[in-house]
Amino acid sequence: MINFITRYFTSLWAFITAPFRAIWRVIVRIFPPREFTVMDTPRGNVYTFNQSSFWRFTKFCAKVGLFVWAAWSTYVFVYHRPMLQNRTQQLEQMREKYAHHMIDLNNYLAKYNELTKNINVIDDKLLKDKKLTDPQKEELVNERLKTWGELDFLKTRISEMFTDEDYAPEYTKVSDLAIEYELTRAENIEIKKRDIELLETVVKIVDADNKIIDAVSKLAADKTTELRAEMKRINGTLATLGLGEGALVQNANKYSNQLVGAVFNPLEIDKELDEKYQKLANDITLWNGLNKLKKILPLGAPVRDVHITSKYGTRKDPFTGAPKHHKGIDFAGKIGTELMAVAPGRVISAGERVGYGTTVEIDHGLGFTTLYAHLSKISVSRGDWVRPGTIVGLGGSSGRSTGPHLHYEIRYKGNPFDPEKFVKE
């Protein structure tokens, strides 16, 4: 270290002051000495002045300091002055609120002393005055209860004063406090009266609700029983198709078209309510599903005069005499016999089909379709919507037929099954 100092500096002092001298050289470079001349024109004298680097640097620092002070003063004036004014206003409001609190406290204290005095006077009369009659004693007791009520009210107001940040002073006189108590007391009496009336109304509503629930439940049960009785004859056939009431009802409620109506969403009742509401909702869902199912399923005969000439199942082929499976049932009829749709649906096929001749096929939903074969004329077109009773065609003997009749099939998911139970009422 000593070698470094002796090599580059003449002394230890020169080493210590080197940074300051370097800074001073920079200052001298920025603020070099200047010489300026001033001429005194009237007298003809010329004066020369020298400005050192130190003098120029000092003037610059003074100007910068003056600018910074002016900027800071402007900032304080513009930004802090409104804050100080706002704080002053808050302090003034707090002072005013404190003054009102003190007024309220004085009023509460005066009222407390008055109520305490009244209670002492009433107690003294009740204990010492032997001449009091029962009505007078009762009146004094009521007066004492009223005074205690005012004391409780006074306690509440004082508690609000010290615990509620939004408490606003209200009373400037003791009489105002008494008036407020009387108004509150009257309001409480009115509220109790309304509560009693409301309770009576609720009891009536609950009674009416129970009656309505019972009536609707009975109606749903009766209608469900009727619908089940009407569809009882086809339960065996549906069972062979693997269909149960629950699945059919659920699918019927989800099914919709322009003829059978919109989707029915089961009602979901809050589980915290009485179970009777959910039971009623389930009964209504079942009722609606069975009613809709009755509309959708192809129940009934496609002809007015029902006379079955050939049933579903194995029979002798009319052409070959050999045993052959008959996929539907045949109805007797002349050429031109009107053939009707048995349920609402949409025509999915209307035209010639090998072996069946002129045919019409209708989709009723839920996988059920009906097929009319050997027609002489078609009265509908593919895509048409048909209602029960709509004429879809006329009887004939087209296709593989030995004479005029109607070959009628009911299919589930494209597979024919015995339609006899669906046809017979």
Sequence spans of domains, the chain: 31-172, 219-296, 308-423
* Tokens encoding 53: 């680097």
* CA distance between the termini of the chain: 125
Residue 412 has pLDDT above 90, yes or no: yes
What pLDDT is attached to residue 173? 46
- Pairing state of beta strands 34-40 and 323-326? unpaired
Residue 337 burial (C-beta neighbours within 10 Å; 0-12, 13-18, 19+): buried
* CATH no. of 308-423: 2.70.70.10
Q: Which amino acid is at 158?
A: I
CB-based burial of residue 287 (10 Å sphere; 0-12 exposed, 13-18 middle, 19+ buried)?
Answer: buried
Cα–Cα distance between 380 and 387 in angstroms, integer? 12
Can you say whether the dihedral through the CA atoms of 222, 227, 232, 236 is positive or negative? negative
- 421 burial type by CB count under 10 A (0-12 exposed, 13-18 middle, 19+ buried): middle
Tens of pLDDT, residues 337-351: 999 999 999 999 999
Q: Are 370 and 388 in contact (CB under 8 A)?
A: no
| Residue 375: partners with Cβ closer than 8 Å, 6 or more residues away | 339, 357, 358, 359, 360, 393, 394, 395, 396, 398, 406
Q: Is the pLDDT of residue 168 over 70?
A: no
Half-sphere exposure of 64 (CA within 13 A, CB side): 6
- Give this prediction's pTM: 0.54
Single-letter amino acid code for the residue at 388: P
pLDDT for 111? 74
Residue 324 Cα distances to 318, 327, 370, angstroms: 10, 9, 21
Three-class SS of residue 302? coil
User: What CA–CA distance (Å, rounded) separates 387 from 128?
Assistant: 98
Query: Beta strands 405-412 and 329-332: pairing type?
Result: antiparallel
Pick from 144-153, 253-262, 287-296: least confident = 144-153
The mean pLDDT value of the chain amounts to 82
Q: Write the pLDDT tens digit of every residue in 260-280.
A: 989 988 888 888 888 888 888
The answer to whether 149 touches 178, Cβ cutoff 8 Å, is no
Which range has highest mean pLDDT (211-215, 257-261, 316-320)?
257-261
Q: 344 near 296, Cβ under 8 Å?
A: yes
For residue 362, give every residue at least 6 positions away whose Cβ sits within 8 Å of its Cβ, in sequence order, or none. Answer: 341, 345, 346, 347, 348, 369, 370, 386, 392
